[in-house]
Amino acid sequence: MTEIPEHLRKRAEAARQKAAEKAAGGEGGGEAAEAADVPAAEQSEAASKIPAHLLERSKAAKARKEGVAAETGAGAGAVTTAGTAAAVATAAPPPTATGPQGHTQRLLTVVKSGSIQDVKAVPQDKVHVWPHLLAAEFVAALFITGFTLIFSIFVNAPLLELANVNQTPNPSKAPWYFLGLQELLTMFHPMVAGVTIPGMGIFLLILAPYIDRNPSNKPEDRKFAIGVFTVQLMFWAVLVMMGTFFRGPGFNFVAPWDKGLFFDL
């Protein structure tokens, strides 16, 4: 039910009391007496808040009341009371907007909390180093060790004869995994080839995870990290292949299709 404003309810109660007094005393009241009882400030306030069609209805009711007032004062008082009550009832503001099942609620109590609150506790796919990672690495190390042991029982390593201190092999090449360093020694000073260049490469690989902090595992999203690793891997692979296939006696540059391959496993 719509709630009636306080000032209109007080006016209706005052009008009822006046009508009851007139009916009890047999006094007739006209428009002038009623206008005198209602202050001008209340009339202007009511006129500013009551719609135009209600004012027209009120004027018509007053006109009818003046015609009936000559015949009987009590009837006029009853008409005035009915007109005032009707004006109060019709002048009430429209009902407020209601929610489901007629309940009036604030907006924040209706909207779901997930749409206005930023949930920062996002679940992440992570596991602890121990025991998950270290246990898997330990099992893998045991497997590789057992495979190497069994393989070495059935297959002999390709070892050369005992070294002769009076005869140095020519060319004298390091194992394949050190041929890249040996190749750099033919181009730069030992300090640059053995310390500076390898140290810069290792240091750049150490910094790569801190420079590229993208958490994605997709290769297309890790262009920097994959690019750094690929460049260094290809750089070292080229040096190893040059020392293996393109270096002959005296560690000079030769073509393998002309002089042959000077490399033993």
How many whole angstroms separate alpha carbon 38 and alpha carbon 61?
17
Q: Which DSSP symbol is given to 161? A: P
Confidence check: pLDDT of 221 > 90: no
When mean pLDDT is compared across 4-18, 48-62, 177-191, the lowest value belongs to 48-62
State pLDDT tens for residues 107-159: 555 555 555 555 566 666 777 888 888 999 999 999 999 999 999 999 887 77
Cis peptide leading into 131, omega within 30 of 0? Answer: yes
85 falls in which pLDDT band (50, 70, 90)?
Answer: low
**Interatomic CA distance for residues 24 and 174, integer angstroms:** 131
Q: Is the model's pLDDT at 246 over the cut of 50?
A: yes
**Residue 239 — pLDDT band, cuts 50, 70, 90?**
very high
pLDDT confidence of residue 76: 44
pTM: predicted TM-score of the whole model, two decimal places: 0.42
Higher pLDDT, 236 or 260: 236
Indicate whether 160 pLDDT > 60: yes
Rounded average pLDDT over 73-102: 52
CB atoms within 10 A of CB 77: 24
Integer Rg of the chain from CA: 52
